[in-house]
Homo-oligomer: A and B are copies of this chain.
Amino acid sequence: MAQSHTSRDVARLAGVSQSTVSYVMTGRRPISEETRLRVEAAIEQLTYERHAGARALASQRSRVVGLFVPFGDGNDTVGKLPFIENIAASARAHDHELLLVTADEGPSGLRRLAGRSLCDAMIIMDIELEDERVAVAAELPVPVILIGVPSDPRGLHCVDLDFAQAAQIAIDELSATGHDRIALLGHPADITRRRLNYVSRFIDAACEHADLLGIRLEVIAPVELGRAAAAAAVDEAMAFGAGGRLGLLVPESGNVQAVLRALNSRGSLPGRDVSVVAVCTDAMAQDAEPPVTNVSMERRDVSQRAMETLFWLLEPDQRKPPPGIALVPARLTRRQTVMPPP
């Protein structure tokens, strides 16, 4: 059990002053090659590491990122892990630690982390349209990145998937392949209720863009999760209009499988008799039966962008373009569920 050493121990061993040790570590002052090597050797020998608390106290920076994770609520519990993992890796790459706070603490969690100077910046996942944390976050003395776009961002930095653009490229694809009608199989009611923001961003853009391209678009919503609801929605979609080339647009990744299954059981083979474009991760699209043409919504892209802007705020010496509300674009991957042009 290596008794923890201090920078004084290192200084003594290297035969220099304690402050020199500090300067070697921070690099805030030119050090002669020779003494630097001696100090580094001493550090190595003692396996010395700086005391985080002392460092934070003296430097006014904790080198910690606070992450507010929405546990508990049922939705998409699996997609969150890669997100967190990505955040952690990015923090680590900048020699920062990651402090995890569960969202059920609400605004008080934000105040605690800031008040105790526990972190230099925060990321709040799953921001809802009307989120009581946003107003609190805006008053904090540390930068905050929101994942999701609230109705009033208060000048905070937001990162989210670009749902409007996602809708557009999905419809572009269906248009380019000669479809003349599109059925949008919407989201479950409780999601729509909770944070209509991304839902409405998608649906509004879809309607607008379909209109622009002169394609008929019907929105079928809400569509609950589960086989029965999906089947009913599929029936409704297929009844919509007669003949022609029909494309189904499925923005809720949890419904993709059920929709495909419902089509199959009705004798409509996706990619031959009808088209399906899903909004989901590439992994999910690939695993679907059959592999479904999708507009990718990768949380990793979002976390990446979030951490970029975070460290852009934390290390202002850089020259990269300043961020604002960052919408991560989706991209379309063609698989087997869109009919080729006639």
Residues in chain A within 8 A of chain B (CB atoms)? 1-4, 47-57, 62, 64, 67, 71-72, 77-78, 80-82, 84-85, 88-89, 92, 97-102, 105, 111-112, 114-118, 139-141
Q: Which partner residue on chain B sits nearest A51 by CB separation? A: B117
23 pairs across A/B with beta carbons < 8 Å?
A1-B139, A1-B141, A2-B139, A4-B115, A4-B117, A47-B115, A49-B116, A52-B53, A52-B62, A52-B118, A53-B53, A53-B54, A53-B55, A53-B57, A53-B117, A54-B57, A64-B99, A71-B85, A72-B85, A77-B78, A78-B78, A98-B99, A98-B100
Set B2, B50, B64: member contacting A141, Cβ < 8 A? B2
Set B53, B78, B80, B102: member contacting A62, Cβ < 8 A? B53
A2: min CB distance to chain B, Å: 7
Set B47, B49, B55, B141: member contacting A3, Cβ < 8 A? B141
Copies of this chain, count: 2
A43: min CB distance to chain B, Å: 11
Answer whether A88 and B115 are a contact pair too, CB < 8 Å, given A1-B141, A53-B55, A53-B62. Answer: no
Answer whether A102 and B85 are a contact pair too, CB < 8 Å, given A54-B53, A118-B97, A140-B1. Answer: yes
A70: min CB distance to chain B, Å: 10
Residue numbers in B under 8 Å from A56 (CB-CB): 52-53
Q: Is the interface of A mostly helix, strand, loop or mixed?
A: mixed
Residue numbers in B under 8 Å from A82 (CB-CB): 71
Set B97, B116, B140: member contacting A52, Cβ < 8 A? B116
A262: min CB distance to chain B, Å: 18
6 A-B pairs with the lowest CB-CB distances in the bound complex, closest first: A49-B115, A53-B56, A71-B85, A53-B53, A52-B116, A53-B57
Q: Which partner residue on chain B sits nearest A62 by CB separation? A: B53
Contact B88 A102 (CB under 8 A): yes
Residue numbers in B under 8 Å from A77 (CB-CB): 78, 81
A190 to B55, CA, bound (A): 44
Contact A51 B57 (CB under 8 A): yes
A40: min CB distance to chain B, Å: 16
A74 to B133, CA, bound (A): 33
20 other A-B residue contacts (CB within 8 Å) besides A1-B139, A53-B55: A1-B141, A3-B141, A4-B114, A4-B141, A49-B115, A51-B116, A51-B117, A52-B53, A52-B116, A52-B118, A53-B53, A53-B57, A71-B84, A71-B85, A81-B81, A85-B102, A88-B100, A88-B102, A92-B102, A97-B118
Q: Which partner residue on chain B sits nearest A3 by CB separation? A: B141
